[in-house]
Structure 1
Amino acid sequence: MKSLRAFSMIFLFSSLVPATSSRALEISFEEDHSLPVVYINLAVKSGGASDPRGQLGITNFLGEMLMRGTMTRDKARFDLELDRLGARMEADTRTEALIMRAVVLSENTDALLALFTESVLQPAFEEKEIAKLKSEITSAILDEMGRDASLAARHFMNFLFESHPYGNPLLGTMKDVQSLSREQILQHFDRLFCDQQFVAVGSGACEEDKISDWARNLASSRAHCKELPPMQAPKDAASLRVQIIDKPDRTQAQVYGGQVGITYNDDLFFPLYVANNAFGGRSFSARMMNEIRVKRGWSYGAFSSLIPGKFPRAWFFTFYPTSKNVAESTSFALKMISDVREKGLTGEEFDFARQSLVSSSGFMYNTPSKRVENKLNERILGLPDGFYKSFGNKISNVTLEDANKALKSFLKPDKLAISILATSKDIKPALAKNLGLAEDKIIVTKYTEEK
C-alpha cells in the first residue's frame, strides 16, 4: 500500500484527553487549502519493543487487525466504505510507536473520522481474519528470511541487544505469530490504546475544532488505562562477540557490526552525528566507503548508521564482501574503528561531513509533510519542540575537537557485536585467525533459527 506519510499541514495532540482532564490538549495546526485532502495519524507511543516474550510481532499484528473490520462492519464492508469515501487507511509499526494513518477527500472528513473512531473503539478481531493475517505475516517473515540483507539485519539486532526489547523483530517470529490468540491481541490492545499513550498528527483542509473535538472524544473513551511497565536501557556487552549466521552456498557475505548507541538528548549526539557521517556516511569521501570500496574493492558499499531512541539504541556498520574477503575485510573494519577512536578524523574529513550536513539540514523541515513527521518524532521520542528545526545550527556549532572527543568517548571496539551471514565452513577458520579468536569463541547460528 502506498505510504500515507506525506502531509500538507499539521495538527498535533501530545496528550489526547477529555476537556475536563487536568492534562492540557496541545494543538498545532498549519492550514493549507490548496488541495481538498485531509491526512490523519493516530500514534501510540509504544511499538514493537512492547511485545511480550512469547508474543513477538503482536504490536504489528494488532495494527493490521485494526484495519480488518469492526463490530459493525466486516473487512469487506470496511474496505468498501473506504473506497466509497475515496480514503485509505494503514498501520505503520515501528520499534517505539504504532501509527494508524489515514487520508481522505476533505468533503468526506466527517465520515472518515467516524470510521477511524469505529476502528479504534470497536475492533472486531474476528477469528477468521486472525487466521488469514497469520498466514500473510508468516509469508512476509519467510520472504524476509529469504533475502540475505534483511535476514542478516534481523539476526544482528537480536544478537546486539540479546534479550532487550530493542532486538524484537517487528514482524515477530513464525512460532509466536502462529500461536497468538484473540485474547492476547485484546489484552495488548488494552495495554497500548490509552489516552496517555496517544499522539495525533495530521493535515489537510479541515477546521481545527472538528479535529480537536474528535481527538478529545476518542481519548475520553480510552481513559484510565493501566500504564505499561517501564523499559530499561540496554547495556553494552562485556567483550567482543562474533556470530556467523550459517547459510549454505553463499558466495557473498553480509557483515553487520556495532554497539549500543546514544539518545538524541545525549550531549554527544551532535558531535557523534557529524563524526559518523565523516566515518561511515554515504559519500565516497567517507572513510569506510573510501577504504573498503574505493581503495580495496571489497564491497559495493560500506556504511555506518546512528539510530537513537527513547533509550540508547544502536550504532552499527555494514558492508557485503565476497566470502573469500570476509575475514580480511572484517578485521580491517575493526582496525578502522580503533584507529578513528584513537587518532580521530582529519580536518578535511570533518569539514566535508559537517558542511554537507549543514547544507542538507534545511531540507529536514522545508515541507509540511516533513514538519509533520518531525512533530510526530518529537512527541514519540520525548524531544524538545523545534528539535529538527534547530538541527543545522547545532551541527554548525560542532568542532573537530568535539567530534574526535565524542568518538574517543563513545566507540568501544573491544565490546562490539559482529554478525556475518555466510557459509560457516568457508569463513570460520580464517575469520577466527584474523580476529585473534579461538574458533570455539565464534557463535554459529543456523539461518533458519528464530529467537
Structure 2
Amino acid sequence: MTRFFSALLILAATFTTAARAEVDIQEVKTPGGLTAWLVEEHSIPFTALEIWFKGGASLDRPGKRGAINLMTATLEEGAGEMDALGFSRAKESLAASFGYDVSADTLSVSAKFLSENRDEATELLRQSLIEPRFDQDALDRVKAQIVSIIRSDEKDPNDIAGKEFNTQAFGEHPYASDMNGTVDSVTALTREDILNAKADTMARDRIYIGAVGDITPDELAALLDKLLGDLPETGAPLPGDVDLGLTGGVTVVPFDTPQSVALFGHAGVERHGDDFFPAYILNTILGGGSFESRLMKEVRVKRGLTYGVYSFLVDRDHADLWMGQVQSANNRVGEAIEVIKDEWADIAANGVTQEELDAAKKYLTGAYPLRFDGNGPIANIITGMQITDMPIDYADTRNDQVNAVTLEQVNDVARRYLKPDDLRFVVVGQPEGLTSTN
C-alpha cells in the first residue's frame, strides 16, 4: 500500500508538471458554513488537502512564547484512543500523509490520501485536530527536541542575525521574538498552556481550505463539515500591525567565525497595493537570486566578495519589509556592504533599463507555471491565494499582471521605495573596520 501510494504521488506530480498556470478552481460552500477552493483531478485516485489557520505563532499568550509551536508539533503525537505509536501505525496502514506546521502568521495542516481510504484517513485526521491527546510523555519528548533546536540556533550566525534584526524591526510585536520560544519559556509550558494554544489558533473564524484531486464539490463539502465542524467558532484576536523600528546603520554582533553574515533591510511594499508588481519585478532585477541580478553581478561576479547575495520582499500579515542577505570574509564584508548600498542608491536614482525589465518579465512568467507541479503544490498555492485575499482567477491572470508593468512604473517604485540610507545591516561575525552605529 505504501509503495502504491508513493507511485501515485509521482504520477500526480508527473501529470501536472506540464500544467499551465491556468487552473480550474471552484469555490465550495459547505452546509456548515465553511468555504474551500477545489481543483478537481479525477485521473488519479488521490487527493491533497490544505487547511490553514490565520494567526499562527503570533497568537502566543504573554509569557508563553513557544506554546503554539509546541502544540503544533504535538498534534500527531496521539489522538482519541491512540497514543503516538498507535496514531503513527494507523496513518501508515492507510498510506496517508499528514503534516502540521506553523509560521509567524499561519498554522497549516496538510493531508494526502487515496480515494479508497478517504473516509478512514479523514477520520484519523479529524481526531488529531479535534481530539489530540497531548500526553505528558509526548509533550516532554517534543519539548526536548525544541530545546535542542533553540540551543543549536544560538550557535548559528544566520539565526543570530535574524533574531537581532527582528528585535530591532518589530519591537514589542510577536514578530520580534523566535516562535520556538526560549529554553526557559518552553521548559515552563504546561499541558494547560498547550490546550489554550490550540483553542486560540485552531478556530473556524480563520480557516482557509484548498483541495486538489479525486473529489467532487459535494464530497468535499461533506468531508470538511465532518472534519472541522467540531472546532470552536472563534479564536484569539489577531495582533495589530507593526510600527517598524528600523533605522539606517550597522549593528555588529560579535561571533567567532571566519565569515560574517549580514542581514539588511528597510520598510517594504504592501502586497495588495498598486506598487507590488512593479516592486516584485524591480527586486528580481536588483537581487532576486539570479546571476543576472545587479547585486550578484557587482558583489560576486565583479569583485568576488561573496558566493551569493540576495534581496527579497517580505510580506507578513502585519508588516512589509524589503530585505537582503550576504555572507563574506571578515576582512571584506565592509566592502560588500558599501557595494550593496551603492547599488541600492544607483537603482533608486537611475532606475533600470528596458532590457533588464524584459528579461525579468520573461524569467518570472516562464518560471510561474513550474510551481504547479503536483496536487500538493497546487493545493498549497490556492490556499495561499485565499489567505492573502487574492481573487480566484489570480493563477490565470498573474502573468498578465507581470507583463502589464511598464518601465515607468518600475522606476517610479525604485525612486519611492529604495532608501539606501534607511538600510539597517545586522552583521554577525568579526568584521574588520565595522562598528555598530546609532
On whether the aligned pair clears a TM of 0.5, the verdict is: yes
The Cα shift of 1:111 comes to 0.8
- Distance, in Å, in 2 between the alignment partners of 1:177 and 1:55 is 8
- The question of 1:108 aligning with 2:117 is answered yes
Q: 1:38 pairs with 32, 42, 47, which one? A: 47
Measure, in 2, the Cα distance between the counterparts of 1:197 and 1:146: 36
1:414 aligned partner? 421
Deviation, structure 1 residue 237: 3.4
C-alpha displacement at 1:55, in angstroms?
A: 2.4
Structure 1 residue 241 displacement after superposition:
4.1
Kindly provide the amino acid, as one letter, of the partner of residue 356 in structure 1.
Answer: Y
**Counterpart among 342, 351, 359 of residue 349 in structure 2:** 342
Q: 1:244 corresponds to which letter in structure 2? A: V
Cα distance in 1 between the residues matched to 2:282 and 2:358: 10
Aligned-partner Cα distance in 1 for 2:362–2:43: 35
- 1:141 and 2:157 equivalent? no
The yes-or-no answer on 1:237 pairing with 2:245 is yes
- Say if 1:361 and 1:205 are closer, same or farther in 2 by CA, change over 3 A: closer
- The whole-number CA distance in structure 1 between the counterparts of 2:229 and 2:310 is 46
Tell me, yes or no, if the aligned pair for 2:36 and 2:210 is still in contact at 8 Å.
Answer: no
Q: Does 1:165 align with 2:174?
A: yes
Relative to structure 1, the CA distance from residue 123 to residue 222 in structure 2 (aligned partners, 3 Å threshold; closer, same or farther) is same
Aligned partners of 1:12 and 1:200 also within 8 Å: no
- Compare 323-332 and 204-213 and name the one that shifted more: 204-213
Deviations 1:163-219 (A, max 9, x none): 323334343332222221111111111111111122222333344433311212343
Percent of pairs identical after alignment? 24
Quick check: 1:58–1:185 contact (8 Å CA) kept in 2?
Answer: yes
Q: TM-score, normalised by structure 1?
A: 0.85
Q: Is there any run of 5+ residues in structure 2 with no aligned partner, and where?
A: 1-5, 17-22
Check the 8 A contact 1:16/1:195 in 2, yes or no: no
Q: How does 1:179-218 map to 2 (within 5 A)?
A: 179-218=188-227
Structure 2 match to 1:448: none
Q: Deviations over 1:133-178 (max 9, x none)?
A: 1101111223334433344334333333233233343433322222
**Per the alignment, in what secondary structure is the counterpart of residue 253 of structure 1?**
strand
Distance 1:344 1:62 in 2: 47
8 Å contact kept, 1:106–1:204: no
Partner of residue 80, structure 1: 89
Partner of residue 304, structure 1: 311
For residues 14 and 421 of structure 1, the distance between their equivalents in structure 2, rounded to whole angstroms, comes to 48
Deviates more, 1:28-37 or 1:75-84: 28-37
CA contact (8 A) 1:235 1:260 kept: no
Aligned partner letter, 1:209: D
- Give 3-state SS (helix, strand or coil) of 1:153's partner: helix
Partner of 2:19: none
Instruction: Name 2:236's counterpart in structure 1.
Output: 228
Q: Which runs of 5+ in 1 are unaligned?
A: 433-438, 443-451
1:293 CA drift (Å)? 0.2
Q: Give the structure 2 partner of residue 383 of structure 1.
A: 390
Q: What is the identity, as a one-letter code, of the residue corresponding to 1:361?
A: Y
The SS at the match of 2:209 is: strand
Secondary structure of 2:40's counterpart equals coil
- The question of 1:258 aligning with 2:265 is answered yes
Residues in 1 aligned to 2:129 and 2:300: alpha-carbon distance in whole angstroms = 49
| Shift in alpha-carbon separation, 1:50–1:381, aligned structure 2, 3 A | farther
Which moves more between the two structures, 283-292 or 41-50?
A: 41-50
Whether contact under 8 Å (1:304, 1:318) holds in the other structure is yes
**Contact persistence 1:364–1:389 (CA under 8 A):** no
- Give me the whole-angstrom Cα distance separating, in 1, the residues matched to 2:192 and 2:29: 26
Aligned match of 1:360: 367
Q: Report if aligned partners of 2:314, 2:320 keep a CA contact under 8 Å in 1.
A: yes
Which deviates more, 306-315 or 69-78?
306-315
